[in-house]
Structure 1
Amino acid sequence: MHIDWTTFALEIINFLVLVWILKRFLYKPVLETLNQRRAGIEKTLREAHSAELRAHSLQAQYEGRLADWGKEKAQARAELETELALERSRQMQSLAHDLADERARNAAVDAHRQQEMRREMETAALAQAQQFVTTLLGRLATPALEARMLDLLLADWAKLPDQQLSGLRAAAGDSALEAKVSSAFALDEAQRGRVVEALSQRLGRPVAVVFEVAPGLLAGLRISLGAWQVHFNLTDESASFAAAANHVDG
């Protein structure tokens, strides 16, 4: 086999030129491209890792925030329940106070109503009693009873203290003033004389006396001297009793 060394040498030279050309214009750009791709991939991986770290950090923050929010929610719920319990207690106390006030007002109104009813019943009873007494006394009133009442009136007049007579004596000092004696029945001369004598003796001067018959007195007398009055008769005594009973009731 014959080898053409010249051809062989040219082939070697062509191969080396081809290798140089490939290395110069193909392999180096490919390596640079691969390096760039590798650098891009590493950069992307770094960014992804950084993003993953940030995601983990955000997740941890979110989970921590959720935990804190859960605690805050539980605390807020507990505070709300406490406030609701306090408000419910205040409302119940206020309601109980209002109910107590309402019961007190109702009790006061009922008591006042009962008192008014009792007063009206007592007033009606007193009026009926006074009417009954007046009717009864009217049936019992006689000149003899009036004579006895005249004796009692004059006896009381004789015992009247001087300090109570001072006003009557001052009124009697007016010479133009007359004493008026009202009686349910007409007084006889002896009874009139006793009245005039008793008045003049205690008042310290003669007194002009006018006598009149007042059947409304039922029995007894009423002596008027100016603004002063001395009475002892069934009508005035019955009215005084009713007035005293009404005053005590009020």
Structure 2
Amino acid sequence: MLIDWFTVIAQIINFLILVFLLWRFLYKPITKTMQERQRRITNRWEEAQVKQEEAAQEAELYRQKQQELDQQRATFINEAKTQAEEERKQLINQARQEVESMQTGWREAIQREQDEFLATLRQRVQEQTYAITRRTLQDLADANLEQQTIKVFLNRLQTLDETQRQEITQKSATEIIIYSSFDIPQTQRQEIIKILQSQQIINSKNIKFTTSPDLICGIKLQISNYQISWTFDDYLQTLSEQFSTIIKQTTNKP
């Protein structure tokens, strides 16, 4: 059997041309179409995956927000309950304080009225006692009592301590006034001046004698704001203070 190589070669060429034509016009478009379809499917799958993930994220976010809302609602409810309870307690305490304040005000007003009444009573008793004693001493005052008053005052001048003497000496440049409840005789005046000079306190040029009806059987030496005195007023004042203290202690007892 003879092989027709021309025919074989022609068939091979025809086959190759057919294959090329099939690849060019059939297989390639089909392959391209399949690739594009695969790409679209892949893209859609990826998009679906993305959307699914986004949906899952949205669902988780919604769940978290819902949980936060539930927590906030519970917190708001608890805060409202706490605030309401605090306001209730505050109102109760305020009402209690107002009642206690009113009661305290009533008690203080009653106590104040009682104290004012007792103070007025003490003052009147003290003033009456002081006035009666003062009038009695004024009625009993005589020449012998005046001489004894001068004697006691002179003794007080002679027994000045160093501190008193220095304090008087520092102020002796100003006028010295000697007040008395009676007119001191000239001889006793000279004796007073002599004692003051012996104490190196004054000279005879800056001393003045005067009577004072406010004193009761007494003598007072005044230099600026410093004074030395011996009067029944001192004893009466001490007696009045002691009497007032006794009354206060008595009235303050429950």
TM-score, L = length of structure 1: 0.53
Aligned counterpart in structure 2 of residue 207 of structure 1, from 204, 208, 219? 204
Gaps of 5+ in 1: 1-79
Q: CA deviation at 1:221?
A: 0.9
Q: CA deviation at 1:97?
A: 3.8
Matches within 5 A, 1:47-58: none
Match of 2:219 in 1: 221
Matches within 5 A, 1:182-193: 182-193=179-190
Whole-Å separation in 1 of the counterparts to 2:171 and 2:94? 67
Match of 2:116 in 1: 116
Whole-Å separation in 1 of the counterparts to 2:170 and 2:86? 78
Matched residue SS, 1:196: helix
Aligned residues: 168
Q: Structure 1's 89 and 136: CA in aligned 2 closer, same or farther, altered over 3 A?
A: same
Task: Provide the alpha-carbon RMSD of the alignment.
Answer: 3.8
Q: Structure 1's 116 and 137: CA in aligned 2 closer, same or farther, altered over 3 A?
A: same
Whole-Å separation in 1 of the counterparts to 2:103 and 2:219? 55
Whole-Å separation in 2 of the counterparts to 1:219 and 1:155? 16
Whole-Å separation in 1 of the counterparts to 2:215 and 2:103? 51
Gaps of 5+ in 2: 1-80, 249-254
User: What amino acid sits opposite 2:119 in the alignment?
Assistant: R
Contact 1:217 1:236 in 2 (8 A): no
Whole-Å separation in 2 of the counterparts to 1:170 and 1:85? 75
Q: CA deviation at 1:240?
A: 6.8
Q: Structure 1's 227 and 203: CA in aligned 2 closer, same or farther, altered over 3 A?
A: farther
Q: Structure 1's 247 and 228: CA in aligned 2 closer, same or farther, altered over 3 A?
A: farther
Whole-Å separation in 1 of the counterparts to 2:234 and 2:95? 56
Q: Structure 1's 225 and 207: CA in aligned 2 closer, same or farther, altered over 3 A?
A: farther
User: What amino acid sits opposite 2:192 in the alignment?
Assistant: V
- Identity among equivalent positions (%) equals 15
Matches within 5 A, 1:111-150: 111-150=111-150
Q: Structure 1's 186 and 93: CA in aligned 2 closer, same or farther, altered over 3 A?
A: closer
User: What amino acid sits opposite 1:217 in the alignment?
Assistant: L
TM-score, L = length of structure 2: 0.52
Whole-Å separation in 1 of the counterparts to 2:180 and 2:194? 17
Contact 1:168 1:203 in 2 (8 A): no
Aligned counterpart in structure 2 of residue 180 of structure 1, from 177, 180, 184? 177
